[in-house]
Amino acid sequence: DRAMGASLSYQISKRYGETGLPLDTVHVNIKGSAGQSFGAFLAPGVTLELEGDANDYVGKGLSGGRLIIYPPRAAVFKAEENIMIGNVCLYGATS
C-alpha cells in the first residue's frame, strides 16, 4: 500500500499531538514488496517492520516512528549486493 502508516499516523497526531504514543505502541509486521512512500510521516509510537523490499521514498517525512526493513529470511542472495530500498529514502525525515 502506498504511504502505509500515514493515515494511522494522522489519527495518532490528531488525538495525541506531536508527542504521539510510547515507543512500539503499534508494531506492524509486514512481508512482501512495499509500494512508494512506505512509512511516510510515521508518528511516534508506530513501528513498521518489513521483511522484503520497498519502492521509492521510504520513510519520507519520518516524524518519530520507526522503520525496520530486511530481506526475506529465505532469500538466497546477499543483501549487501542487492537493492532493498528504492531512491530518495528518508527524504525530509526529522527523526
Does residue 88 fall inside a structural domain? no
Position 91 in a domain: no
Residue 93 lies in a domain: no
87, part of any domain: no
- Which amino acid would we find at residue 40? A
Tell me if 31 is assigned to some domain: yes
- Average confidence (pLDDT) over 16-38: 95
Q: List, in order, residues 6 or more apart from 29 with CB less than 8 Å away.
A: 49, 51
Q: Give per-residue pLDDT as tens, 35-90.
A: 889 999 999 999 999 999 999 999 999 999 999 999 998 888 877 788 888 899 89
Please give the C-alpha separations between residue 37 and each of 22, 64, 74, in angstroms, as whole numbers.
Answer: 23, 16, 25
pLDDT band, residue 95 (cuts 50/70/90): confident
Q: In what order do the strands lie in the sheet with 46-54?
A: 26-34, 46-54, 66-70
Q: Tell me whether residue 65 is in a domain.
A: yes
Residue 49 lies in a domain: yes
Which class for 44: exposed (0-12), middle (13-18), buried (19 or more C-beta within 10 A)?
buried
Question: Is 1 part of a structural domain of the chain?
Answer: no
Structure confidence at residue 2 as a pLDDT band (50, 70, 90): low
pTM: 0.89
Q: Which of 83, 9, 85 is nearest to 40 (CA)?
A: 9
| Number of domains making up the chain | 1
Domain encompassing residue 51: 6-81
